[in-house]
Structure 1
């Protein structure tokens, strides 16, 4: 039984998802309520649920698994709630306040709002120490490092109980010796402290970004270190033969030791696996342009793949903190099943970003929640099974949902509960559509050229409405949709990013040789690291990117290129790639202008064996899966229509269902709106296509189209 299983665990704000795959292509999904106060408890509870349903003990699964993979929100939650480690900063004298000055930038949307509060500083002013010593922009030393000042800073940090220290000096990427000497002193005087050195973590030009990234890493490192220690220890106690892998924000797996040291890579680890899962699902049809939307209990996450490559962002403001390292671009909104409906000062209905979470949860959960949420609205609209969610494990109370909507929304607005519920549904959809536009339209992509992929337990109730609003005519919904990020983790590869500053103008043989040598050095390191991780040379692949700009521009854009030998003639390939990307982003290019590189990066990937693909037997026609009808509301009139309900477990490959209809899977509910046709593929994926409209009042026996 060795290497029989693969286990993926994705901890969300409301639910923690578990995907258990075997070598034969069997894939099953399980859920447990998240336990933010003790994240490992949710893992224990989930494994207990798996044992209850399959008879497989946690020891049997873990000791016979080739990989156990964990995507965690521990770092994200610490950043959101400002509960990270007490952190000190050692910076160049005079630059202690760069993280507050923030390049004079105020977040988009608040630039002219004088009442918008400043971001909470992860390192308060009294824990920032400026150190004399200055490196110039050519890498030469202008002023030697004041080592006594570093020692004074350490003594101050010891008095203040600092448990993590970030070091970031100006132009350290060109001359890192000052940072390294300061690090030696910190290690001597504070051996128990966690240390982040900016030029090691993020060796890229831009001092503010490097300093902010180092601070975020230092702030989260002790939290992730304790989490990794607890999870690794728990899995070792179950007999794990291989180390736990953790999912990173760059879209790849890493060992716990890497995540502990480079904690900033674990901030958005959960949703970052969605693009990989989306490409896996779309592979049978050759789909490579996919937008994935993931609506859970707390948030709504959006990712995009174009031509099989996920959008990667660098130098972004995440939760108001500048982070330079490459991250799968995930647009996150406060729009989940627990999003609370409320009325603003103008008397207008709003949805979120406040969330009822898992405790107390939506009113219909019956756990003490009294505020109306998206889940309550979907229940009142008839979209959700009133018998309960997760196969009945989570019972729902329709009357409590109606009461919450009536008291807080319907009566104050003078409308019916049904109209208020549909208004909630429409507003939360509009919020999500705006997020999809930011990932697609604002990045230069037309969403109508993409397939919309459904992830998350709550998304299926909204997916066809979202696609219709965006002009998208094809939707994918996997039977594993509610745990798609956990599934994405078990099919992902190990990935590490290696960076270097490269202030080089793309002219001449010398510039080409410098660039080629930089990439060669980074990729040699990457191959050696992956070889030490057990990967043969033929399992390693390389991707390159360059931060480039026209000479004289303030900001650069990232250009992805395939690896090739860089010679003077091949510089034209780099220029052409940059011109094309610049035009894609900004609608123009300047082919006659000089181009320069600022930074370079190599992404080194070690390929992991993939589990088998799900294979469903041929269906016998959708009529056999029809289990009744339910009154459902599909427009602002609030008038319900009897709508057919299908049991997804009774559908087989090739079965087709015309909307309006609802398909009930164990962990998700799929609303097929009027005008849509759903067909179940043998890989376990529903393909929904916008076709001829079907009246919502059509009798149930005419709504099933079988082949």
Structure 2
């Protein structure tokens, strides 16, 4: 027997998915332990060993793929708990991090009172170096090595733990940055070094500097975490190298992850589209929106025609990141989101969260404020005695008391109406997020299926679909661990980039572009070979950043494995015009254009996971557990609603709403007017009737 193990450490729960070569999939959950992630992993391992009835060391020894997703980098950036960082930059460019191209975030552009972003490098630790490379790669001012050494002396005195290096036009000539890195490593052994041409070797000086700084700021934090996790896994019996999940939707080796810490920022939700494709595939669906409601956040991704949107050169948590990331819309709308009343007496929900500790009031861990989870208990949707198959005891009366004390009495309404208010408001917040990834980007959400991920999502998903007009809702049985599942389906994925500024006119040297692609891909093949990935398992997807002459921003045009030449450039031009029109509603076929950057995404392919089919059920009567009073409308009136045991349902079983299906780690609420059919692939397909 051989296994694949995916571990996704979220803010509230850590999810474990174990799949064997027969297609059997096991799902486990443990409470996250942010102070030491290995404690949650140890708890998950104990559950796995108990379920399979053999020692965990034996299971891990038989594991062929072990993947870990983490929020460590994300949390460090959110909480500004990275390390003390220094920046070495071209003289005169010490303030580019604060100038930020004169940019303010969308929605705050004209708000004079909006606070400035916290700069990750203090002003006195941004050290100018006299050097200058021109756009054509020629050296105007040689590197002043004495300046670099003086900077290192300052960093040593100040106790700097990481150094970022970013020079103007280093993408045209890498010599100065490379030499600077040599000096820093010589003078500051043990200090983390982040080099712009290694982290983000593309045009845009501010983006490259910001990305390099974020990478330096998070690098030692992620390195410490990875070292601890690696040691824990090895001691537990893992024989294969542990891989880590990246924001680009692929796995990475330990060494790559440590050197590219910036790629771990959105590690968790980035695997959702891969899992979504696996869930939707058997049903012939390739347009879907994955929505993942955990304990702390609500993450949304959109996939159109089997292709998930990728973001580059974007502001994330107010910091410009250039490296490719799966486009994820994240809201502070999880099961732990707290209900509150503003100064005008209006009910609000989130983004403040009770998290894992103290958690919702019903968890009995010291939490006293009303949360979304408490509302779902009060509405009758959740089992009033326990969650997670009985492992998490809850107190329904504590949930009702928190809602009554903090919301119902101050608002002068019943506890039931206040609970439904929480449910409705958090749903509205989530719908707005779905609209941002769909309508605001030119997609009609009615053309997409909604796929539920996360333990709390299925409580809300049918109501969300009603609001946006979607007619297909998919909730896989392993919804609460869908991101961990997506990890074991994914490939190793690295992005190889280069700046290649060139006007596409009669003088364009297309052969040099093709040669640059080939050089990048040759380097990628060698890197994967060193990781034990044979050439036949390596694939490439090329893209080119293009724009009309005079534009500030470019569009990323996917060209697959197309060779760049005189015979293909016409198709590449057409693809650019079409993409520009899709994104901005117009194109200019007669206007001159230029290439800015190129990128080749290299993948080390994993073998497909064998699917297992569900057997037919014995009938829904056998699965009926009983009835509970539940509330489905703002009037607060309860309906006696059937509750079904999901483990007793089989392929083809149909449940008509209103109803609730209880799986061990998730609860599916089927709103009135909807029905659910369990597909043989293990997915509840919910549609209106």
- TM-score higher than 0.5: yes
1:182 aligns with 2:180: yes
CA distance in 1, matches of 2:535, 2:190: 37
1:46 aligns with 2:44: yes
CA distance in 2, matches of 1:86, 1:624: 61
CA distance in 1, matches of 2:524, 2:446: 38
Structure 1 range deviating more: 330-339 or 514-523: 514-523
**Partner of residue 626, structure 2:** 628
**Partner of residue 284, structure 1:** 282
2:525 is matched with which residue: 524, 527, 535? Answer: 527
CA distance in 1, matches of 2:568, 2:19: 45
- The Cα of 1:225 is off from its aligned counterpart by 1.0
Kept after mapping to 1: 8 A contact 2:300/2:433 = yes
**Partner of residue 80, structure 1:** 78
- The Cα of 1:421 is off from its aligned counterpart by 0.7
Q: What per-residue deviation string (whole Å, max 9, x for no partner) do you get for residues 185-233 of structure 1?
A: 1011001111011011100000000000000101111111111111111
Kept after mapping to 1: 8 A contact 2:452/2:461 = yes
CA distance in 2, matches of 1:239, 1:417: 51
**Partner of residue 157, structure 1:** 155
CA distance in 2, matches of 1:449, 1:519: 36
**Partner of residue 18, structure 2:** 20
Kept after mapping to 2: 8 A contact 1:507/1:571 = no
CA distance in 2, matches of 1:218, 1:127: 13
- The Cα of 1:509 is off from its aligned counterpart by 6.7
1:220 aligns with 2:235: no
Q: What per-residue deviation string (whole Å, max 9, x for no partner) do you get for residues 13-61 of structure 1?
A: 0000000111111101000000011112111111112223332322112
CA distance in 2, matches of 1:115, 1:395: 46
- The Cα of 1:514 is off from its aligned counterpart by 2.1
- The Cα of 1:515 is off from its aligned counterpart by 1.8
**Partner of residue 103, structure 2:** 105
1:340 is matched with which residue: 338, 341, 364? Answer: 338
1:542 is matched with which residue: 528, 536, 540? Answer: 540
Structure 1 range deviating more: 533-542 or 483-492: 533-542
Kept after mapping to 2: 8 A contact 1:249/1:328 = yes
CA distance in 1, matches of 2:28, 2:527: 34
CA distance in 2, matches of 1:329, 1:564: 24
**Partner of residue 364, structure 2:** 366
Gaps of 5+ in 1: 692-707
Kept after mapping to 1: 8 A contact 2:542/2:562 = no
Kept after mapping to 1: 8 A contact 2:548/2:592 = yes
Kept after mapping to 2: 8 A contact 1:505/1:511 = no
**Partner of residue 93, structure 2:** 95
Kept after mapping to 1: 8 A contact 2:627/2:642 = yes
Kept after mapping to 2: 8 A contact 1:646/1:663 = yes
- The Cα of 1:452 is off from its aligned counterpart by 0.6
- The Cα of 1:183 is off from its aligned counterpart by 0.8
CA distance in 1, matches of 2:507, 2:335: 57
Gaps of 5+ in 2: none
**Partner of residue 299, structure 1:** 297
**Partner of residue 29, structure 2:** 31
Q: What per-residue deviation string (whole Å, max 9, x for no partner) do you get for residues 357-379 of structure 1?
A: 01000011111111110000011
Using the size of structure 1 for normalisation, the TM-score is 0.96
- The Cα of 1:351 is off from its aligned counterpart by 0.5
**Partner of residue 199, structure 2:** 201
CA distance in 1, matches of 2:55, 2:68: 19
2:474 is matched with which residue: 470, 473, 476? Answer: 476
CA distance in 2, matches of 1:651, 1:507: 63
- The Cα of 1:688 is off from its aligned counterpart by 0.8
Kept after mapping to 2: 8 A contact 1:474/1:689 = yes
CA distance in 2, matches of 1:466, 1:52: 37
Taking only aligned residues, the RMSD between alpha carbons, in angstroms, comes to 1.1
Kept after mapping to 2: 8 A contact 1:365/1:397 = yes
- The Cα of 1:399 is off from its aligned counterpart by 1.2
- The Cα of 1:502 is off from its aligned counterpart by 1.4
Structure 1 range deviating more: 49-58 or 318-327: 49-58
CA distance in 1, matches of 2:336, 2:236: 34
**Partner of residue 600, structure 2:** 602
- The Cα of 1:520 is off from its aligned counterpart by 1.3
**Partner of residue 379, structure 1:** 377
**Partner of residue 615, structure 2:** 617
Matches within 5 A, 1:497-516: 497-508=495-506, 510-516=508-514
SS of corresponding position for 1:367: coil
Kept after mapping to 2: 8 A contact 1:341/1:424 = yes
CA distance in 2, matches of 1:507, 1:61: 60
SS of corresponding position for 1:508: coil
Matches within 5 A, 1:54-453: 54-453=52-451
**Partner of residue 5, structure 2:** 7
Kept after mapping to 2: 8 A contact 1:176/1:199 = yes
Kept after mapping to 2: 8 A contact 1:509/1:568 = no
CA distance in 1, matches of 2:515, 2:468: 45
Q: What per-residue deviation string (whole Å, max 9, x for no partner) do you get for residues 575-596 of structure 1?
A: 1111111111111111111121
SS of corresponding position for 2:392: coil
SS of corresponding position for 2:387: coil
CA distance in 2, matches of 1:206, 1:518: 19
CA distance in 2, matches of 1:78, 1:136: 36
**Partner of residue 495, structure 1:** 493
CA distance in 2, matches of 1:564, 1:71: 32
Kept after mapping to 1: 8 A contact 2:502/2:508 = no
